[in-house]
Structure 1
Amino acid sequence: MTLDPRLQQIADAQPYPLVFATISGAHLYGFPSPDSDFDLRGAHVLPLPKVVGLTLSDETVEDSRVIDGLEMDIVSHDVRKFFGLLLKKNGYVLEQVLSPLVVRTSAAHEELRAIADDCVTRHHAHHYLGFSETQWKLWQKESPRRIKPLLYVYRVLLTGIWLMRTGEVQANVTVLNREFRLPQIDDLVARKTAGAEQQTIEDQDMAVHERAYGSLSSQLEEARDSSKLRERPSEATFAQLDDLLVRLRTSSGKGT
């Protein structure tokens, strides 16, 4: 997709230098509605005076408001926090750093993308299983039930299965469904992208989604158990992130 040029201006206006800024959320997942907001995610570099004192502020910067006519949801972590999350079984940061919807990049971002591939482990399945279970339970309690959270459940499960099978991060549910071929997903995406953010579904469709949720959850567990992915990031991966962090910090917080 072609990104709105205003997003670059919004990235330029962030309070700290950005190593990268990418788009996450519905635009990344392949089902933005005409009124969807833009989820801008990134990693910034706090200057030395901010990190050597007794207190640490702005480790995470958040901003949700309309900027230049765009409804924005902005979250950026300082590189030390972001790298720490990357070393854990956190699928969100993997998807952010590897997102193809790039608003701001840098040489450090390209280096980080290569390192991120080595951070993928079989235990990332727990992230996707946990998130899908939470979203599923919340969605079952909704009245009326919305399409958006249901698509999040499908997207998370398919992303997790694909990651366990291939080691590749793919967050776009439409791309994933070329492999899984679940007809209800194409229908849900078509309705979500053509309508408003709060589109709902009919109760008579519940049985289809319940069966699919159970089947995909089992497939993700099986893919995790049979996965050839590593158990944890290697010491070399840790050392690469540590070296990159030191270089970013000692270069006066320049992300480019």
Structure 2
Amino acid sequence: MKQRIIEELKRIEAQHDVKVLYAVESGSRAWGFPSSDSDYDVRFLYVPKKEWYFSIEPHRDVIEEPIHDMLDISGWELRKALRLFKKSNPPLLEWLSSEMIYYEAFSAAEKLRKLKTRAFSPEAGIHHYLNMAKRNEKTELRGGEVKIKKYFYVLRPLLACRWIETFSSVPPMSFPVLADALLTDESLISEINSLLTRKKSGQELAPEPKNTIIHAFIEEEIERIGLYAKTIKTPKSDITEELNQLLIQTVEEAWEQKDGN
């Protein structure tokens, strides 16, 4: 599949006249709990030619491909990505932390990884993941019965919050890594591992009675982290000029080749 993804990225480059800088898995496969029929959620960064940046007309700064044959591919233009990076955008920071890299060209991604610690805001991260957990809990876990897969869309952001609280760093994407580092309650771990095994085997769509142990943990953790979020306040470096230089250097680097490749 990796080779097919690279071929799709090359097609996108030719179709849109851009250079892809970096492409990773961003969904359940990177999170560590894919099902047999999970899509490949590919997210990429790209840079257009320098003329794109000097036009007086606004340009679309995302590329979104129709989902087909288990491939969900979309990308952000580099300037858009850098603006979000400066704001400590959690999805982008996750992409830069992904262990499932499909493609990397030029030096932009490595430079961003080196700046990641300075860009990261624990405050922004906590609020992002807490809001995600609360939203998913409200929409997916409040009925009489619950689908297995929906638990993980609440548990993962809650563990990301706990990671930030504990380590003050960008949370890893992998749910098993988060769980291994942060959970100590044996009964909770056993219930989560059981659901994880069943999800991976495809038993994820049929509604079933709530898991009382997991629900109790979710309710307590949402309340606890909500109180913690009100106290957190962290300073952040101003990396604007470094990101400006990174943008200029990347455009030059990506398009300096004389043969047009």
What TM-score results when the alignment is normalised by the length of structure 2? 0.84
Shift of 1:161: 1.4
- 1:214 corresponds in structure 2 to 219
2:101 counterpart of 1:97: no
**Structure 2 CA distance for partners of 1:144 and 1:225, relative to 1, 3 Å:** closer
- Separation in structure 2 between the aligned mates of residue 38 and residue 104 of structure 1, nearest angstrom: 14
In the alignment, what sits opposite 1:11? 9
Q: Which amino acid aligns with 2:200?
A: T
Question: Partner of 2:48: helix, strand, or coil?
Answer: coil
- In the other structure, the counterpart of 1:174 is 176
- The runs of 5 or more residues in structure 2 that have no matched partner are none
State the identity %: 22
Which amino acid letter does the alignment assign opposite residue 116 of structure 1? Answer: K
- Could you tell me how far apart the structure 2 residues matched to 1:149 and 1:219 are? 21
C-alpha deviations, 1:26-57, integer Å up to 9, x for none? 01111000000000011110222223212232
Match of 1:231 among 223, 229, 235: 235
Counterpart Cα distance in 1 of 2:178 and 2:242: 31
Distance 1:143 1:89 in 2: 37
Q: Which runs of 5+ in 1 are unaligned?
A: none
Q: TM-score, structure 1 length as denominator?
A: 0.85
Separation in structure 2 between the aligned mates of residue 97 and residue 253 of structure 1, nearest angstrom: 23
- Conserved 8 A contact 1:48-1:252: no
Q: Distance in 1 between matches of 2:98 and 2:228?
A: 23
Residue in 2 that maps onto 1:187: 194
Structure 2 partner of 1:88: 87
* 1:70-117 Cα shifts (integer Å, max 9, x gaps): 411112110111111112242111101221110111322111111122
With 124-133 and 182-191 compared, the bigger mean Cα shift is at 182-191
CA contact (8 A) 1:91 1:127 kept: yes
**Once superposed, what is the RMSD of the aligned Cα atoms?**
2.6
The verdict on how the C-alpha distance between 1:154 and 1:172 changes in structure 2, with shifts beyond 3 A counting, is same
Contact 1:41/1:75, CA 8 A, preserved across alignment: yes
1:202 maps to which residue? Answer: 208
- Count of equivalent residues: 246
Q: Which has the higher contact order (CA 8 A, sep 6+)?
A: 1
Q: 1:92 to 1:125 in 2, by over 3 A?
A: same
How do 1:35-54 residues align onto structure 2 when only pairs under 5 Å count? 35-54=37-56
Indicate if the aligned counterparts of 1:63 and 1:75 stay in contact, CA closer than 8 A.
Answer: yes
Q: Which of the pair has more CA radius of gyration?
A: 2
Q: 1:80 to 1:253 in 2, by over 3 A?
A: farther
Which runs of 4 or more aligned residues in structure 1 lie more than 6 Å from their structure 2 counterparts after TM superposition?
none
Q: Find the counterpart in structure 2 of residue 138 from structure 1.
A: 139
